[in-house]
Structure 1
Amino acid sequence: MHTRRPLRTLALALGTAGLLISGCTEGGSTTGASSPAQAASATPSAVPAALKPFYAQQLNWRDCGVTGFQCTTMKAPLDYAKPDGGEIKLAVSRKKATGPGKKIGSLLVNPGGPGGSAIGYLQGYAAIGYPAQVRARYDMVAIDPRGVARSEPVECLTGSQMDAYTQVDQTPDDAVEVTKLSSSFKKFATGCEQRSGEILPHVSTVETARDMDILRELLGDEQLHYVGASYGTFLGATYAELFPARAGRLVLDGAMDPSLPSAEMNRDQTAGFETAFQSFAADCVKKADCPLGTTSAADAATNLKKLFSDLDAKPIATGESRKLGESLATTGVIAAMYDETAWPQLREALAGAEAGDGSGLLSLADSYYEREPNGTYANLMYANAAVNCLDLPPAFATSQAVTQALPTFEKASPVFGKGFAWASLNCAYWPVPATGTPHPIKAEGAAPIVVVGTTRDPATPYKWAKSLAGQLSSGTLLTYEGDGHTAYGRGSDCIDTAINTYLLEGTAPDDGKKCS
């Protein structure tokens, strides 16, 4: 999401946003869920008999070993269609309301991804950095979604295999390179099936939303209060669709559009990153030390493309065994697009690359992928693929389809379009068929839901927020006119005041309210 927050690491900030470069997109899933009307009527006393044990279980809270936080584990059905067919254990953490003031309930938080650790976000920022008046009246709570981090994580590759995967050329120039890229996607998918085959069919967004309802009951709340960012907005909207009567104060920040098919979503994100880059370039060329030149944003784009081309032909040293090629360099640049506070670091990294030192861009790429210095990876990218490839049919089924779509992607972004188009191929080889379909979410009967959009958001373009707010029967749009991914807590008093008022008093901002 964003790096402005002092208690958050760059890896957490960059890793919990929309992850198009992984080749996947976020979308809607419907298999395994009851209809919205059925779910809404499923009060704790009226849940199906097979689910009652899950809604009636006791949470045994313990000290996490992190000051002020408690942890527990809850159980949910592995497969909601067969609740007695096996269980999955999900990690939960909380920090109790600090007071003063009457407690409102629990505030569940999710940083996005999919694949971002909600517990990591809670303990690393939300339960410490959210406004004091919010923390005073809510228990701050997080559950790592199924397949993520502490909740039976999806695993796919070894560290060395992941290193190789991240370096494969994603802008193939000939049939040999296309075959190599396709093979890397197949190896990734095969690794996931071999290491996590049992859980892969059961990490959809709908299933995670249903897990959240079990947690809501176990926390003793009649309604779910929630702040979700990026993909977390789709998770929150899905919850409201399934359980509209139980949807409390929901903030959906950096909103997604669940009505879009994968290919269109990927093109929109491509355009979003182009918009963010143009904003960076316009700022960069005003500075005497801009490594992309000091004439115009157009020239900066041309110079960046040349750098990528040079790195494609001849990777450069990084001070370690891995060299910086075009793929890792592109990832590093994209990582810095999530927050304008990373722009100075990007300028320095680009200057280094121009001088033959790839360490700066490699560091940014490693933060994006959540790679540790010892060569191990968090499961962010594995969970990201697992959820995305299950939630929506693949953007492209064949390399030929990508080739046909290339002109539209390159029109959306002359700088990033080709790479983003080819990255969209990986779900074509996924071992589990997609269970979801794109569809608008109305959540009729839900209380007012606040949808937040940033006008120059790279990962979740502003038009998605406008669309989601329009789809939701009770949606209200709050706009941040600025750069970066998401808006809450990024320094706008106008945004923060509107959201805080909603969370504390239940009064949503006027639909269409704009802040800067």
Structure 2
Amino acid sequence: MTAVPRRPAVLVALLSVVLVVLSACSSGDSADEAATSSSAASATPTETPVQPVEWTDCTADIAPIIAGRPGADRPLTFGCGQIEVPLSYDDPTGPTLSLFAVRAVSGTQTDRIGSLVVNPGGPGLSATDAAVQSALTLPDAVVGRFDVVGVDPRGVGLSQPVECISDGTKDEITAAEPRPSTADELDAAFALADDVAQGCADTYGAGLGAFSTVDSARDLDRVRQAVGDTQLTYLGYSYGTTLGSTYAELFPGQVRALVLDGAVDPEADPQEAAEAQAQGFEAAFDAFAANCTALVGGCPVGADPRTFVNDLLTQAETTPIPSSREGETRQATPGLVLAAVRSALYNPAAWPQLAQSLAAAQAGDAAGVLTLADTFTGRGEDGSYTNTIDANLTVSCSDTEETYSQDDVRALVADWGTRYPLFGADSALSLYTCTPWEAPRTPLPERNAEGAAPILVVGTQGDPVTPLPGAVDMAEDLTSGVLLTWQGSGHTAYPKTECVTTAVDSYLVDLAAPAADLTCPA
């Protein structure tokens, strides 16, 4: 199945808070009713008036959730609200969807510029969670000038989420063999993908096509109007760069400032993107291994971390590894072990945790491995999942018309499994995910955003998820694109280092784009 990008510091408990707020507000159609149609790719003017957001103060509910987190001592107030958007932009006065929104405002705000709309990517990650986290962690120079706003895109989080994959099936997906080497293992992988696609088709039918990025980009312009901004200021990470650049293509004149950090390559087809990600994760694992073996006192997984992980995968395949975590009934399979490795490679700060967790698993306790894997997949301690996997699959398949046959994928699994031994086979398998998908497709448009104000594209040299060439291509394709490169590691760059932070802050606040091709040291 398609790999789901790791969630940032997601405030899972926020879901229960905003659900209470949501129930107190007027709601749109149910999720089942909502997924009934899709729209064409070209942008059209909004034909229905956009009502300002009626913010409900939810500070008292969010405060205990963020207590103790870095930045929680900031004088922040939070508002929760809803924004109505057309289900289909082909029928702008017809049925609507209700998008859930969170706004954070600093008590030290002066000379307010407007709203900074944030999206953490995925597709399928919660932008309302991201808004809360961003309010805690973005520089004072930004939080002091902008309201920080997150709106869960249609089908995501609390915006009438797409839900068509059971928790049990998600457990099966994450535990599945990531490096199939036999015909039976490949047949099982294809059958699982077929079952997932059929289950979503049975639940929503053609309505699955209503959750494309093009539709979400149109929603974003209604968000801009609902928060009262004449132009959009936007911070998008990973898939959020796809959403932001699509917005710029559809509404170039409405761009004030767009930061696209960890850009998804707009020129790569699914096969090229999957191979680039396999290469990126292999390189990131090598960086983790080099870092670990250089530690004073030695690396917890020995002098050859790659061999250690290969041996651990074999161990987990032969005898799945139990966990000491109270109440845990799962055992770590190779799929869960590799999910844990992927999870930690997103952020070098998690590398020590990965090394310790792998060593503990080899000794017979998979508790740490399962914790890392669950962070990656969105699984809670009670065994329930967010709808990140459902939304990731639905949006990804809505956005492409490319399909790959089982024979195509079998050949790539064999090839990539040799060239990219840890991550190649899994990346190749992901190409089959959308082949059995039964829903209308709205392919992403080519994006040059001609006429838009300067757009800042940020790429990281050691990004395993969205490798640097994607940012280079994005900046080159956008007529007004400006590339900023960080020579660091991990997924995305802002605000991790002073050089990047200074450049992005100046751009967001003063519209001062950095010099072309600025490179920041690690």
TM-score computed with the length of structure 1 as normaliser: 0.87
CA deviations on 1:144-180 (whole Å, 9 max, x unpaired) are 0000010000112232232223222232232222221
Q: 1:407 to 1:494 in 2, by over 3 A?
A: same
Choose 258-267 or 413-422, whichever is displaced more: 413-422
CA deviations on 1:38-84 (whole Å, 9 max, x unpaired) are 65xx4xxxx4xxx224x3x2422212233511111111111112223
SS of residue paired to 1:89: strand
- Tell me, in whole angstroms, the C-alpha distance in 2 between the residues paired with 1:222 and 1:501: 20
1:322 pairs, out of 315, 330, 343, with 330
2:269 pairs, out of 261, 270, 278, with 261
1:130 equivalent to 2:124? Answer: no
1:222 equivalent to 2:227? Answer: no
SS of residue paired to 1:142: strand
- Tell me, in whole angstroms, the C-alpha distance in 2 between the residues paired with 1:150 and 1:198: 22
Contact 1:291/1:354 (CA < 8 Å) preserved in 2?
no
- Tell me, in whole angstroms, the C-alpha distance in 1 between the residues paired with 2:222 and 2:374: 35
State the match for 2:455 in structure 1. Answer: 449
Shift of 1:34: 5.4
Contact 1:149/1:378 (CA < 8 Å) preserved in 2?
yes
1:52 equivalent to 2:61? Answer: no
Shift of 1:493: 0.6
The amino acid of 2:306's aligned partner reads A
CA deviations on 1:208-265 (whole Å, 9 max, x unpaired) are 0100101111222111000000100111111000000001111000111122111111
Contact 2:85/2:98 (CA < 8 Å) preserved in 1?
yes
State the match for 1:207 in structure 2. Answer: 215
SS of residue paired to 1:459: coil
CA deviations on 1:302-340 (whole Å, 9 max, x unpaired) are 332232123223212123321111111110100000000
Shift of 1:9: 5.1
SS of residue paired to 1:151: coil
State the match for 1:431 in structure 2. Answer: 438
- Tell me, in whole angstroms, the C-alpha distance in 2 between the residues paired with 1:414 and 1:185: 22
The amino acid of 1:334's aligned partner reads R
1:182 pairs, out of 190, 200, 207, with 190
5+ residue gaps, structure 1, are 13-30
State the match for 2:468 in structure 1. Answer: 462
5+ residue gaps, structure 2, are 14-37, 64-76
Size of the aligned set, in residue pairs, is: 474
- Tell me, in whole angstroms, the C-alpha distance in 1 between the residues paired with 2:321 and 2:147: 49
State the match for 1:501 in structure 2. Answer: 506
1:233 equivalent to 2:241? Answer: yes
State the match for 1:21 in structure 2. Answer: none
Shift of 1:301: 2.0
Contact 2:109/2:143 (CA < 8 Å) preserved in 1?
no
Contact 1:97/1:103 (CA < 8 Å) preserved in 2?
no
- Tell me, in whole angstroms, the C-alpha distance in 2 between the residues paired with 1:400 and 1:361: 33
CA deviations on 1:388-440 (whole Å, 9 max, x unpaired) are 0111134x532211122235523652221112212332211212143215x64
1:312 equivalent to 2:317? Answer: yes
For residues 332-347 of structure 1, the aligned pairs below 5 Å read 332-347=340-355
Structure with larger RCO (C-alpha < 8 A, sep 6+): 1
- Tell me, in whole angstroms, the C-alpha distance in 2 between the residues paired with 1:463 and 1:117: 26
State the match for 1:400 in structure 2. Answer: 407
State the match for 1:484 in structure 2. Answer: 490
SS of residue paired to 1:248: strand
Shift of 1:362: 1.2
The amino acid of 1:467's aligned partner reads D
The amino acid of 1:375's aligned partner reads G
Q: 1:2 to 1:189 in 2, by over 3 A?
A: closer
SS of residue paired to 1:481: strand
The amino acid of 2:468's aligned partner reads Y
SS of residue paired to 1:279: helix
CA deviations on 1:159-211 (whole Å, 9 max, x unpaired) are 22322232222322322222211121122222323344464211111100100
State the match for 2:55 in structure 1. Answer: 61
- Tell me, in whole angstroms, the C-alpha distance in 2 between the residues paired with 1:60 and 1:453: 36
Contact 2:257/2:454 (CA < 8 Å) preserved in 1?
yes
Choose 174-183 or 406-415, whichever is displaced more: 406-415
State the match for 2:421 in structure 1. Answer: 414
User: What's the % identity of the aligned pairs?
Assistant: 39
Q: 1:388 to 1:2 in 2, by over 3 A?
A: closer
The amino acid of 2:428's aligned partner reads A
2:477 pairs, out of 471, 480, 492, with 471
For residues 71-82 of structure 1, the aligned pairs below 5 Å read 71-82=80-91
Q: 1:503 to 1:414 in 2, by over 3 A?
A: same
Shift of 1:450: 0.4
Contact 2:10/2:129 (CA < 8 Å) preserved in 1?
no
For residues 269-288 of structure 1, the aligned pairs below 5 Å read 269-287=277-295, 288=297
- Tell me, in whole angstroms, the C-alpha distance in 1 between the residues paired with 2:228 and 2:354: 46
Q: 1:408 to 1:255 in 2, by over 3 A?
A: farther
- Tell me, in whole angstroms, the C-alpha distance in 1 between the residues paired with 2:11 and 2:103: 23
